């Protein structure tokens, strides 16, 4: 029979995708399911970006490009880092891949030796630990609960570091918690890294532009120039410009690392899509007003979802600083009994109940390594959110 390679033996298909598939199947067979599971903006890609892609096709930009990004796109990325983050990267310190996910994969594939440890604050985006495992590394998961604002402390980082630690991986604003690190939050962590020169820093700034209430986004390479030589700053166009399907992500980092990552890319995808790269140039160099409009729309939804959740007995939700997720505690639901007589033993029982009885698909905290919580993605219309939250409220009050 078929036997998968050992490197993927412990890696399953993403729990998020499984729930999504089950919810979609229920929907197809007639259930009025509302899916609050997807990690992508419901907006369309802005028109000027689509236009740039059409132009690229018409002008024959339909061939292989330079391995890890066209010079024009790399320049646009350099300009973005300088303009928005105050970080200077040279052209040869930039890499472009098929989504931030490929950037993460390239970086880990190019640096992890068997048994190397990667410190990951939890809850974390599920792909982090799976990619690390595929690359032969050991994810070191550090629980950071709502009481800690879902953020890691310097003491936790210090305790997690061993001689085998290769990377610390931070994600701010975070998927799934929406928590974001201020300069004050970052400082003590960066000091720990300065004292541990074998540890490199990978930051995933994917949700940089989706922050609320005048939150001042900062990235570590700007805060601590002494760490820049061992920091990889990852970002992309997927979430900021509603371009998830175009598959473009990018990063800035030290030249030797960028070169090693190019080796992986050259033997996997050869280069990102030429058309998507042209579209990304338009996204990065074009009018940024669209970001503000969308941010305001996300903020209204966040405020609605957070207050609706907190009004439910047994649920408590911290107000996230960014991204488009809430990560609420459902600890108060554990031990309660459903109308059908089932006991809610853990967060996945609660989310199964919401899917089956209330026809609302959300993702249990266990999928992100921290329980008992559940994640709602509010990147959907206000009408759907209102209906979904009233269903959740009704389902919760039916528990005994």
Stretch of 44-52, 236-244, 363-371, 390-398 contacting ligand PLP, by CB under 6 A? 236-244
Which of 125, 200, 350, 353 is close enough to bind ligand PLP by CB under 6 A? 125
DSSP E strands, the chain:
34-35, 94-97, 117-122, 138-143, 165-171, 200-204, 231-236, 249-252, 325-329, 360-361, 363-364, 373-377
From the list 32, 61, 33, 49, the residue with the least C-alpha distance to 274 is 61
Quote the tokens at residue 172: 């701010």
Positions in 4-63 near ligand PLP (CB under 6 A):
39
Quote the tokens at residue 38: 């997807």
Positions in 354-393 near ligand PLP (CB under 6 A):
none
Q: What is the DSSP string of 283-300?
A: HHHS--HHHHHHHHHHHH
From the list 175, 122, 120, the residue with the least C-alpha distance to 146 is 122
Quote the tokens at residue 264: 């992986």
CB of 5 to ligand PLP, least distance (A): 23
Q: Which residue is nearest to ligand PLP (CB)?
A: 99
Which of 204, 208, 321, 347 is close enough to bind ligand PLP by CB under 6 A? 204
Distance CA 398, CA 400 (A): 6
C-alpha angle 187/80/50, rounded to 5°? 135
* Radius of gyration in angstroms for the set of CA atoms belonging to the chain, rounded to a whole number: 21
Which CB atom, from 338 or from 380, has the smaller least distance to ligand PLP? 380
Which CB atom, from 233 or from 238, has the smaller least distance to ligand PLP? 238
CB of 316 to ligand PLP, least distance (A): 23
CB of 204 to ligand PLP, least distance (A): 5
- Site residue total, ligand PLP (CB under 6 A): 13
Which of 156, 238, 265, 359 is close enough to bind ligand PLP by CB under 6 A? 238
Assess 244 for contact with ligand PLP (CB under 6 A): yes
Assess 249 for contact with ligand PLP (CB under 6 A): yes
From the list 369, 349, 317, 354, the residue with the least C-alpha distance to 14 is 369
Distance CA 383, CA 377 (A): 14
Which CB atom, from 85 or from 171, has the smaller least distance to ligand PLP? 171
CB of 168 to ligand PLP, least distance (A): 15
Which CB atom, from 210 or from 385, has the smaller least distance to ligand PLP? 210
Quote the tokens at residue 29: 């067979």
Quote the tokens at residue 356: 């089956």
Distance CA 317, CA 342 (A): 25
Assess 353 for contact with ligand PLP (CB under 6 A): no
Assess 178 for contact with ligand PLP (CB under 6 A): no
Assess 250 for contact with ligand PLP (CB under 6 A): no
Which of 70, 175, 219, 231 is close enough to bind ligand PLP by CB under 6 A? 175
Which CB atom, from 308 or from 363, has the smaller least distance to ligand PLP? 363
Query: What string marks each residue from 134 to 173 as x (binds ligand PLP by CB under 6 A) or -?
Result: -------------------------------------x--
Distance CA 94, CA 272 (A): 14
> In which residue are the tokens 């929406």 written?
178
CB of 314 to ligand PLP, least distance (A): 28
Assess 236 for contact with ligand PLP (CB under 6 A): yes
Which CB atom, from 101 or from 230, has the smaller least distance to ligand PLP? 101
From the list 212, 246, 207, 206, the residue with the least C-alpha distance to 46 is 246
Which residues face 139 on adjacent strands? 118
Give the containing element (helix H, strand E) for 154: helix 154-160
Query: What string marks each residue from 84 to 113 as x (binds ligand PLP by CB under 6 A) or -?
Result: ---------------xxx------------
Which CB atom, from 204 or from 321, has the smaller least distance to ligand PLP? 204
Assess 206 for contact with ligand PLP (CB under 6 A): yes
Distance CA 306, CA 71 (A): 43
Distance CA 215, CA 173 (A): 10
Q: How many CB atoms lie within 10 A of CB 293?
A: 10
CB of 6 to ligand PLP, least distance (A): 26
Distance CA 367, CA 389 (A): 21
Binding residues for ligand PLP, rule: CB under 6 A, are: 39, 99-101, 125, 171, 175, 204, 206, 236, 238, 244, 249
């Amino acid at each position: 029979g078929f036997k998968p390679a050992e490197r993927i033996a412990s890696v399953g298909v993403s729990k998020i995708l499984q729930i999504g598939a089950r919810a979609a199947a229920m929907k197809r067979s007639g259930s009025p399911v509302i899916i609050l599971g997807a990690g992508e903006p419901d907006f369309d890609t802005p028109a000027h970006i689509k236009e740039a892609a059409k132009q690229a096709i018409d002008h024959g930009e339909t061939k292989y490009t330079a391995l890890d990004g066209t010079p024009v796109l790399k320049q646009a990325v350099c300009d973005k880092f300088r303009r928005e983050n105050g970080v200077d990267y040279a052209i040869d310190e930039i890499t472009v891949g098929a989504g931030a996910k490929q950037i993460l994969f390239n970086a880990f594939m190019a640096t992890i030796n068997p048994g190397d440890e990667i410190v990951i604050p939890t809850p974390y985006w599920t792909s982090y630990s799976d990619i690390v495992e595929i690359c032969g590394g050991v994810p070191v998961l550090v629980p950071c609960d709502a009481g800690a604002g879902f953020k890691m402390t310097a003491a936790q980082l210090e305790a997690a570091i061993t001689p085998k630690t290769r990377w610390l991986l931070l994600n701010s604003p975070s998927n799934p918690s929406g928590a974001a690190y201020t300069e004050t939050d970052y400082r003590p962590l960066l000091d720990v890294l300065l004292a541990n020169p074998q540890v490199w820093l990978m930051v995933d700034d994917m949700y940089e532009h989706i922050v609320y209430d005048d939150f001042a986004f900062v990235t570590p390479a700007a805060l601590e120039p002494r760490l820049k030589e061992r920091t990889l700053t990852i970002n992309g166009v997927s979430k900021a410009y509603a371009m998830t399907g175009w598959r473009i992500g990018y990063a800035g980092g030290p030249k030797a690392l960028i070169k090693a990552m190019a080796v992986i890319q050259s033997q996997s995808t050869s280069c990102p899509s030429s058309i998507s790269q042209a579209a990304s140039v338009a996204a990065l160099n074009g009018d940024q007003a669209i970001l503000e409009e969308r941010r305001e729309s996300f903020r209204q939804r966040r405020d609605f979802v957070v207050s609706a959740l907190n009004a439910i007995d047994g649920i408590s939700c911290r107000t996230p600083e960014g991204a488009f997720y809430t990560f609420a505690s459902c600890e108060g639901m554990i031990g309660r009994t459903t109308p059908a007589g089932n006991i809610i033993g853990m967060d996945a029982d609660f989310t199964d109940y919401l899917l089956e009885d209330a026809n609302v698909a959300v993702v249990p905290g266990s999928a992100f390594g921290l329980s008992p919580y559940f994640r709602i993605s509010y990147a959907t219309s206000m009408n759907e959110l209102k209906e979904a939250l009233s269903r959740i409220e009704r389902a919760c009050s039916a528990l005994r």
